[in-house]
Amino acid sequence: MPIHELIEAPLITVASEHEDFFRNLGINLNYTDIVIITNFLTQIGTDHPSTKLDWNTVPAFNRISISPENCISAIKNTQDELAHIQQAFSRQLP
């Protein structure tokens, strides 16, 4: 099978299924799950309908093996760490 066919099939699935939050296709994580989770996380702090759902009921979070709370916590911790790194690099030398 040509490489472009191996890549195209998952991308077609992502495009067609990324808004089906409750798709449940088994236990294996796939690109669509990653896009669904990323979409949810980018909506934090907005009034997007996905922010009103119980994320624990979204199968993609089960397949990624991290709870929504832990995922959000990891992102916040990373943001804090990046802020400290940026601050350290932005200090001017004497």
Q: pLDDT per residue over 33-75, tens digit each?
A: 999 999 999 998 899 988 899 999 999 988 888 889 998 888 8
Q: Which two tokens stand for residue 85?
A: 């790194």
Buried b (16+ CB within 10 A) or exposed e, 60-93: bbebbeeebeebeeeeeeeeeeeeeeeeeeeeee
pTM: 0.71
pLDDT at 37: 92
Mean pLDDT over all residues of the chain?
85
pLDDT at 46: 93
Higher pLDDT, 92 or 29: 29
pLDDT at 59: 92
- The DSSP output letter for 93 is P
Q: Using CA atoms, how far apart are residues 88 and 67, in angstroms rounded to an integer?
A: 32
Is residue 39 a contact partner of residue 75, using CB atoms and an 8 Å limit? no
Is residue 39 a contact partner of residue 29, using CB atoms and an 8 Å limit? no
